[in-house]
Amino acid sequence: MNEPKNKVVLDVAKMSSITFGLNHVLGKEPVLSLSINDESIQQIKGIKLLGTITDDKLSWTNYIVVKTVNGISVIKRCAKWCRH
């Protein structure tokens, strides 16, 4: 691999891409073919960024499910201490 002048080296194996949009605009399976130095970049359907989970349809369903499960878990743990 040629080292650039600014010493920045891209690790394509750790890269991924996501296309945000609605089904009726993008189609059911939008395909975005990206590559760097003839290496393909993986396309993903969801991402967790700064603790927030979102998917390619900009739906918060996964985030809400995770937070609900975590909340139920906390309630169950606290219930043990609140029994009389």
| pTM of structure | 0.54
Does the residue 20 lie in any domain? Answer: yes
Does the residue 59 lie in any domain? Answer: yes
What pLDDT is recorded for position 3? 61
Given a contact cutoff of 8 angstroms between Cβ atoms, the answer to whether 69 and 33 are in contact is: no
What pLDDT is recorded for position 72? 80
Does the residue 68 lie in any domain? Answer: yes
Expressed in angstroms, the distance from the first to the final Cα of the chain is 67
Domain that holds residue 40: 12-82
Does the residue 55 lie in any domain? Answer: yes
Counting the structural domains of the chain, the total is 1
Does the residue 48 lie in any domain? Answer: yes
Does the residue 2 lie in any domain? Answer: no
What pLDDT is recorded for position 71? 80
Does the residue 31 lie in any domain? Answer: yes
- pLDDT tens for each residue of 8-34: 888 888 888 888 877 666 667 667 788
- pLDDT tens for each residue of 31-69: 778 888 888 888 888 888 787 777 887 777 777 777 788
Does the residue 56 lie in any domain? Answer: yes
Given a contact cutoff of 8 angstroms between Cβ atoms, the answer to whether 18 and 45 are in contact is: yes
